[in-house]
Amino acid sequence: MAKLTDLYDLGNTIDTFAPGHYARVYEAVDRRDSSLCAFKVMRAEHVVGDGQPRMEAMAFINEADLLVRMAISPSVVRLLDCGYLSSREEIPHAGEIESYGLNIDLFRQGAFRYAGRGWRPYLALELLPRTESLLYVMKPSSPGTRWRLPTEEGIDLAFQFGAVLREAHQQKIVYLDHKLEHVYWDGKRLKIIDWNSSRLIENSPTVLAQQIGADVNHLCVGVLYPVFTGLSPKKGSLMPQPADQAGVDSRYNDINQLDFGLEPTLSPAVQELLSRGARRQINTVDEFLNGLSRAAADFGWNTYFTDGTLRVARDQMRQGLEKLREGQDSIKAAREMLREAAILEGISDNLEAELRRLLNKINDMLNARAIP
Ligand SMILES: Nc1ncnc2c1ncn2[C@@H]1O[C@H](COP(=O)(O)OP(=O)(O)O)[C@@H](O)[C@H]1O
Ligand SMILES: [Mg+2]
């Protein structure tokens, strides 16, 4: 049996922004090749003395299984390794580890044996930057502020999400756990994390069809509405959502209607599409993608009958947005440098005051930024 420290060196927790019900998540170094990963380990409170793996432990096996099945999709977070570890420490730094790589059968077979020993399941995952978490970037920094993705990016994200769900549904998998803290977006590329509440529904076509409908509904309500409006579908501002199984199933039950009153500039076709999704009038991803294609054509997407000028304008839009993202990143980097300078011991009062004046101005600028 290997020692944990032979394989992994665990660093800071990276889940503090949106803690989950099942896991703690740490940044870690894989010592075998010095690469970084996100190390997701079952919370110690779910280890029980009777030797039976709890639902929370089985959820890790379910997640590993679904991640392997969905690995052909570029928008699903990569699974790198899975297994069990003996440590019950808050941040595991010692003890033993059983690492199965991507062998899900062995991981599953270990469930009872390791529950009996009080060990915890873990997954090593591709590490995604916090600055790409949509909840992290879209959450208002002060009351009254709100950001939405530009329509071009929202449409792009919606097409990529639709492609993931279409692949999942073909494999009889439903995602279900749609919320901003599970969605990473860098302006071009979508990544979806946390598949432990997702389900493979092999033996009931009726349940599968019904859950596919729920998946489309959750996409519209739980991800696309906030992405296109900066608002929570549950009224009030964006915040982390309940994470246990009951929370996943019922989270958007009472939302049949979406309010676009604060975002009247959003294209009526997109509003209509999301509203139909919220009313559960879209039963399949293909229906959803059809509606999206129509809405997208008006923004220069080559999905229906789009004329040349629209396409040129869209091209300019994309290049402009890329520059805008670079610009905002530079402003944030500048803020970081000035902040570090401002806390240096021994600088003069005048220099510190000047740094603080600039930092205030930069904060005002970022609070008024054009995109999240
Ligand atoms: N691969 C990852 N890269 C970066 N951060 C991650 C990753 N996976 C999870 N996290 C962070 O940890 C939090 C909890 O992870 P999650 O998979 O949602 O756990 P749970 O199953 O307990 O809900 C996420 O909201 C996110 O902030
Ligand atoms: Mg989660």
How is 183-200 classified by DSSP, letter by letter? EEE-SS-EEE---TT-EE
List the beta strands (DSSP E) in 237-369: none
More confident position, 99 or 238: 99
Residue 122 CA to residue 61 CA, distance in Å, equals: 9
Instruction: Phi first, then psi: give them for residue 200, nearest 5 degrees.
Output: -100, 120
Residue 133 CA: which ligand 1 atom is closest? 27
Q: In the prediction, which pLDDT does 1 show?
A: 83
Average pLDDT of the residues of the chain: 94
Residue 141 pLDDT class (50, 70, 90 cuts): confident
Can you tell me which residue has the tokens 């019900």?
Answer: 21
How many Cβ atoms are within 10 Å of 318's Cβ, its own excluded?
A: 17
Q: What ligand has the least distance to the C-alpha of 15?
A: 1
77 in ligand 1 pocket by Cβ < 6 Å? yes
Tell how far CA 334 is from the center of its chain: 27
Average pLDDT over residues 139-166: 94
Where are the chain's structural domains? 2-125, 131-298, 309-367
The CATH number of domain 2-125 is 3.30.200.20: yes
Q: 3-state class of 33 per DSSP?
A: coil
Q: Are 258 and 278 in contact (CB under 8 A)?
A: yes
- What proportion of the chain, given as a percentage, has pLDDT over 70? 100
Residue 145 pLDDT class (50, 70, 90 cuts): confident
The domain made up of 131-298 has a fold known as: Transferase(Phosphotransferase); domain 1 (1.10.510)
How buried is residue 162: exposed, middle or buried, by Cβ count under 10 Å (0-12/13-18/19+)?
buried
Q: Which of 2-6, 239-243, 255-259 has the highest mean pLDDT?
A: 2-6
| Cα-to-centroid distance, 322 and ligand 1 (Å) | 27
121 in ligand 1 pocket by Cβ < 6 Å? no
Residue 222 pLDDT class (50, 70, 90 cuts): very high
pLDDT in tens, 239-248: 887 777 777 8
43 in ligand 1 pocket by Cβ < 6 Å? no
Average pLDDT over residues 322-333: 97
Q: In the prediction, which pLDDT does 13 show?
A: 95
Residue 345 CA to residue 232 CA, distance in Å, equals: 42
Residue 260 CA to residue 275 CA, distance in Å, equals: 10
Residue 197 CA: which ligand 1 atom is closest? 21
| Cα-to-centroid distance, 343 and ligand 1 (Å) | 32
pLDDT in tens, 48-79: 877 789 999 999 999 999 999 999 999 999 99
Q: Report which protein residue has its CA nearest ligand 1's atom 25.
A: 18
**What's the one-letter identity of residue 228?**
F
67 in ligand 1 pocket by Cβ < 6 Å? no
181 in ligand 1 pocket by Cβ < 6 Å? yes
Residue 59 CA to residue 99 CA, distance in Å, equals: 18
Residue 273 pLDDT class (50, 70, 90 cuts): very high
Q: In the prediction, which pLDDT does 81 show?
A: 98
Half-sphere exposure of 6 (CA within 13 A, CB side): 9
pLDDT in tens, 89-138: 989 999 999 999 999 999 999 999 999 999 999 999 999 999 999 999 99
The first and second tokens of residue 312, run together, are 């040129």
- Helices then strands, each counted (H, E), the chain: 12, 11
Q: Report which protein residue has its CA nearest ligand 1's atom 11.
A: 15
